[in-house]
Structure 1
Amino acid sequence: MSADHEQHPLFLPLVFVGGLIFGFGLGFSHMAQPEVVLSFLQFQDLGLLFVMFGAAIVTGITFFGVKLVRNDAPLTGATYGRRLKTLDKNVVIGGGIFGVGWGLSGICPGAAYASLGIGNYPILTGIVGMFLGAYIQGFWRSTRADSSTPATTAD
């Protein structure tokens, strides 16, 4: 969001409502259960594929349709635009690490939070692991950036 746009007061409440709908949908479709996700990863239950396709279709139609009607986001005023991410080494390695974590835990981050809502409290260990992993990666990245920045001398 650019500095010249004020955030609409309904922005955060609508994000919260969107999260509620997302979580309810994950719970309703049983995708917040690690056993279902692991069955999908083992090609035994492809229901998750239909849930993901359904979400992708709704999202695609929404993004395409909104862009035809307006050029800026209604709640933030920010201009719509594509964020292109190149397929580089970090994306491949990070995606691989994410996939291994997903396979070991049987749950992706969004579904992990929704899983709490259906009473899966042991998933808290996985959520703590996600936060620790993200913190460690951020710390590692910042130390790499600090060491790769050339020292400048003052004249």
Structure 2
Amino acid sequence: MSSLMRILTALVLGLIFGLGLSLSGMLDPARVRGFLDITGAWDPSLMFVLGGAVTVSALGYQLVRRLARPTFAPEFEIPTNRRIDGKLIGGSALFGIGWGLSGFCPGPAVAALSTGVLPVAVFVAAMLIGMTAHRLVGRRSPAVPALGSRF
């Protein structure tokens, strides 16, 4: 498959993803923070959005598993690292803290750039700086030993 076709496919699927986020109201960080505020004015709507996303993904995976190879790539790219280590736990904690404080995770933040709101642009810029810092520091840091081998 040509690289142009792969780029166009990614563009179309990204637009569909962004449209879904927009229609569901997930571009509004107050909705995410409302979902996480279980002791205050709890907003359960995110639970239904996530449930719908998990359902669609589960059905998609069942269909994809029947294919001998992906439609737009020579082979499936399946992660092989199953280790639960300090980097995974630390990164997960940072992700969760950032999501809870800002109300944004990467996908909705990039989609929310379309709203033209300055705090969204600041968040995305900070996210890109953090990703770049990780890439630079990650090259120099030694591997962190796994916390447990049963996973």
Report the equivalent of 2:84: 87
Structure 2 runs not aligned, ≥5 long: 143-151
Report the equivalent of 1:114: 111
| Contact in 2 for aligned 1:67/1:80 (Cα 8 Å) | no
Query: If you compute each CA radius of gyration, which structure gives the higher value, 1 or 2?
Result: 1
Report the equivalent of 2:74: 77
Cα deviation, residue 112, structure 1: 0.7
Q: Distance in 1 between matches of 2:69 and 2:122?
A: 40
Across the aligned residues of Structure 1 and Structure 2, the Cα RMSD in angstroms comes to 1.8
Report the equivalent of 1:41: 36
Q: Distance in 2 between matches of 1:19 and 1:31?
A: 15
Structure 1 runs not aligned, ≥5 long: 1-5, 146-155
TM-score (norm 1): 0.80
Report the equivalent of 1:54: 52
Q: Share of identical aligned residues, percent? A: 30
TM-score (norm 2): 0.82
Partner SS state of residue 101, structure 2 = helix
- Aligned residues between the structures: 139
User: Which amino acid counterpart does residue 122 of structure 1 have in structure 2?
Assistant: P
Partner SS state of residue 118, structure 2 = coil
User: Which amino acid counterpart does residue 8 of structure 2 have in structure 1?
Assistant: P
Residues 31-87 of structure 1: per-residue CA shift (max 9 Å, x gap): 01011111011131121111111111111111112222x210011121464645322
Q: Distance in 2 between matches of 1:15 and 1:90?
A: 28
